[in-house]
Structure 1
């Protein structure tokens, strides 16, 4: 099946695929680090080592990030791009 550009009607068309879920992993790491910081700060007020509090916070942050982060899925968008005029279309 030949796809033609709807703008210039050229036959030189390619499919472009874009992933839009790549930031989910970075947000999970940031969540884990922020929970580790909160755990270390909280452990200073308790009779627990800040190292233990930081590790516990990182574990809790990682678990919460996994549970609530699994709802966001990676979406893949594909469109076509004309090599003649440069226009993108779906």
Structure 2
């Protein structure tokens, strides 16, 4: 299924003349990699912080216990964005 979708996109792009220039394909792949690698961690961090604030709102005494795990989770999610940035610079 996935390979059929990839072939369809490749055929459409080739028909449009997009794949005729390797540099344009390279730039497109870099942009797509950074877009996905930046948007998904942003959603994860947003959901993480929202749930932590909801938990603190329900039980304000748990703020100290939730703060460090929340920061660690945000750091791990942000690491994915940094990895995608490294991949973009190595392409």
Q: TM-score interval w.r.t. the shorter chain?
A: 0.3 to 0.5
Give me the TM-score of the superposition, normalised by structure 1.
Answer: 0.44
Q: Which has the higher contact order (CA 8 A, sep 6+)?
A: 1
Structure with bigger strand share is 1
TM-score (norm 2): 0.44
